[in-house]
Amino acid sequence: MMKNQIFLIFTLLGIFISFAQETTRRDSLQGGLRFERTCYDVLRYDLNIKVDPAKKWIFGANEITFKVIEPTKKIQLDLFDNMIIEGIISKEFGKLESTRDENAVFVHFNKALEKDKTYTIRFSYSGNPKVAKNAPWDGGFVFKKDSKGQDFIGVAVQGTGASLWYPCKDSQTDEPNLGASIKVAVPNGLMNVSNGRFLGSKDLGDGYTRWDWEVKNPINNYDITLNIADYVHIHDQHNGLDLDYYVLRENEEKARKHFEADVKPMLDCFQLKFGKYPFWEDGYKLVETPYLGMEHQSAVAYGNKFKKGYMGYDLSGTGVGMKFDYITIHETGHEWFGNSITSKDIADMWIHEGFTTYTETVFVECTQGYEAALKYVNGQSKNVRNDKPIIGQFGVNREGSGDMYYKGSLLLNTLRHVINNDEKWWSLLLKYAETYKKQIIDTPTVIGFFNQESGYNLTPIFNQYLNYTTLPQLEIKEQGTSFQYRWVTEEPNFKMPIDIEIGSKKIRLEPSNDWKKSKEPISSLEEIKVLTDKFYIKPIKSKL
């Protein structure tokens, strides 16, 4: 592939070469877990706002219900500092004082909040939220028009922060346990689609209609969304699960045919491999958006223009990826990995993106077979940059390398073949998805689970792929009529079994960082084929 085409793919994915960045107070306030955040647990959000498309302005309030974990007279909420705080009140304390520190808003109470007691505050605000330059890769609102000149508006804030457009505890460590309501008033003639179930609409008599939605499940802050357009609604059902599609009027017939091809086979595959759709109570929706896509829980943002592949490209370069709609598959995969299972810190975002990218390969295997899946996942390897570690910096809202997508997926493909037992592998993945369903976890939890369920010590393998930029190197040296082999890794005491073929004979080696000698006779190193389609490693062959 030509250099400019490769650059195009990485630009589209938002995977850029990153240089070391100094962390700021703003970073630590957004990413850190000081007492003012950990002293309370969010139970529910009730968001009620009005959006003025002409002024690109929003006004309204979020009622935040929370339970006190430790007595405190101050809590931290978050709202970007370009937004105006109109007032914060509570039934128990009346008007509350607040102080700003960057995007953090510290709410002060005149007496300590009692442990285990539940409180509700109403945080009113207004302003012109940040507009994204290239959503979803940079966070913000997208204000566009459809082909008929009607407003077409969306928002995507993953990584940047949900507090870009509404006040909340902007941390992945805390989700509203009891769900949320999202009420959005928009000019008459437009519709708003948000997460969960539609409760109804109300003409406010001022040229605006309010659209009310209710989420029953816990939900990530960045998943809460709005989508404003002149939508048409397509309803379907699959094995008892409600399927709802909201698309621009001009795309209704195209959408009906396009979604029919992928959605039901995808749901059959994912529910077989990862368990029942985790947000059944809230239904499943695809909502057309003016940007490419985002995994907004139960309201998946769809902007792939009803094309196969990724905007008409196959990111694997194999042709396999042109047989399905990348955005439908990938963003729905996040319903299990990212929305249901969530990382505590975005430094661990590989827990979202590595597993979800692997769901693409799983879908290929369900629909096209094992060989096509191997071809697809290995085709993705050309997109791995090995620029910096997959795991980022904790406590400062800093992700690791974009390699969390493809290298993360190739790590899982490697682990499958290390375990070397497909029945155990699929059982492990299913149990993982079910065990941590609707939970917030970290990398040590993932590793501990995989170790326990597989019966292998996979810790060195996870460490090498997640914490270093180099791949494990399998060094093979010819020695007379046989050969020696070892792993060369940055992770100490690295052990990982690997399969090779000598002629028609398949052999499993058990290399470590120390040289081992094989008993298998060879006439030359060329006889040895390392199965790099099943193990994402770098083989090096040489003579002693």
The answer to whether 316 and 324 are in contact (CB under 8 A) is no
What are 293's strand-pairing partners? 302
Amino acid at the residue 303: G
398: DSSP letter: B
Phi, psi angles (nearest 5°) of residue 88: -130, 125
Joined together, the tokens standing for residue 8 give: 């195009």
Dmax over CA atoms of the chain, in Å, equals 89
Q: What is the pLDDT of residue 4?
A: 35
d(CA 36, CA 73): 9
Q: What is the pLDDT of residue 23?
A: 84
User: What strands, in cross-sheet order, belong to the sheet with 84-90?
Assistant: 94-95, 84-90, 118-127, 57-68, 40-52, 180-187, 208-215, 197-203
d(CA 59, CA 467): 43
H or E segment and range at residue 228 = strand 227-229
Q: What is the pLDDT of residue 21?
A: 59
CA triple 130-136-140, angle to 5 deg:
10
Q: What DSSP string runs through 64-109?
A: EEEEESS-EEEEEEE--TTSEEEEEEETTTEE-EEEEETTEEEEEE
The answer to whether 362 and 329 are in contact (CB under 8 A) is no
Provide the terminal-to-terminal Cα distance of the chain, rounded to the nearest Å.
36
**Cut 0.85: pTM above it:** yes
Residue among 162, 171, 191, 187 nearest 47 (CA):
162
Q: What DSSP string runs through 420-472?
A: T-HHHHHHHHHHHHHHTTTEEE-HHHHHHHHHHHHSS--HHHHHHHHH-SSPP
Q: What is the pLDDT of residue 154?
A: 98
SS (H, E, C) 300-354: EEECCCCCCEECCECCCCCCHHHHCEHHHHHHHHCCCECCCEEECCHHHCHHHHH
Residue 484 CB: number of other CB atoms within 10 A?
A: 15
Q: What is the mean pLDDT of each run of 10 residues along the chain (544 residues)?
A: 38 40 86 96 98 98 98 98 98 96 97 98 98 96 97 97 98 97 98 98 98 98 98 98 98 97 97 98 98 98 98 97 98 98 98 98 98 98 96 95 98 98 98 98 98 98 98 95 96 98 96 96 94 98 79
H or E segment and range at residue 5 = helix 3-13
Q: How many helices (H) and strands (E) does the chain have?
A: 11, 29
Joined together, the tokens standing for residue 277 give: 């759709």
Residue among 451, 491, 456 nearest 472 (CA):
491
d(CA 376, CA 407): 13
What are 212's strand-pairing partners? 183, 200
Residue among 170, 223, 179, 220 nearest 33 (CA):
170
Residue among 428, 441, 436 nearest 348 (CA):
441
